[in-house]
Amino acid sequence: MPVLRFTAQRSVLGGAANTAANVASLGGRATLVGAIADDAAGADVRRKCAAAGIHLAAIDDARPTIRKVRVISRQQQLLRIDYEDNVELNARAQPQLVATARELVAGADIVVVSDYAKGLLNKDTFAQIRRAAAAAGKAVVVDPRPSHASFYDGADYLTPNWKEALGLLREDDGEAPSVEAAVRIGHLLRDRFQANVLLTLGSRGMSFFPRDGSATVDMAALAREVFDVSGAGDTVVAAFALAIAGGASPADAVWLANRAAAVVVGKRGTATVTPAELLALEDR
């Protein structure tokens, strides 16, 4: 029976809150809409959002605040314990979520939907948020989950990793992300969802497939020692969306997201990236 000796613990924002934390650490103004309970974990989320400079617009949740505990020994994750209840928000909280999002969209430059399929969003709620963003002239960037594929038709940007991309298309998840396979899957995603697609490919980097059918943008991964990919997708979404919101071209946004990913995978655990770290990486 394994026996571990406790030496230290570290608590960080995760999920959509990690995306918001990366936006803030990169110099953006992040407003986070999510559901947390009146419990110890919820109080911790509130404190950490305040410390990170994130404006938290919290929906009261009858479910416990989601918490994940990773047990790590010598840089290797041995176990993860999830404290969560994935039933949908109750009938009172759903309208509150939509009303809060609608109110805040007008003051935003871009809307990021980090869909973790944890019961926050249903198809109708997502559609209402998308319509509010469209009415305000704001692009929507979706970090998708395959189980919610039917939600995303016509989204402005989709940012799946390789496994998520295959799941969205109900393809065999045993296929490796070769150059040819990545092109095929990227084009299928673009055409299926009528969206701009940023497909992240791990050690192969990432590729951007424009909705208008123009040339694909490919970025090779930067050579870095990889400690942990936990939360790297959140960092990619944050950097990409922040760049688009600031008026960057999709190619420049992909360039920035690729470098942000190179920094964050060199850190242990869920982490954020700063402009100074991006500049230091570029100087090498």
268's CB contacts (< 8 A; 6+ apart) are: 72, 75, 227, 228
Active-site residue identified among 38, 234, 252, 283 = 234
Distances (CA, A) of 59 to 72, 88, 144: 32, 13, 21
152, with CB counted inside 10 A (0-12, 13-18, 19+), is buried
C-alpha–C-alpha distance, residues 219 and 254, integer Å = 7
Q: Are strands 67-73 and 196-200 parallel, antiparallel or unpaired?
A: unpaired
Among candidates 221, 219, 217, which has minimal Cα distance to 208? Answer: 217
173 is known as an active-site residue:
no
Two tokens, residue 42: 């919820």
Long-range contacts of 167-170 (CB under 8 A, 24+ apart): 168/144, 168/192, 168/193, 170/146
Element spanning 165, H or E: helix 162-168
Distance CA 214, CA 135 (A): 26
Pairing of the two strands 217-219 and 196-200: unpaired
Tokens of 203: 């050690």
Tokens read off for 255: 């360039």
CA distance 164 to 145: 6
Residue positions annotated with a catalytic role: 234
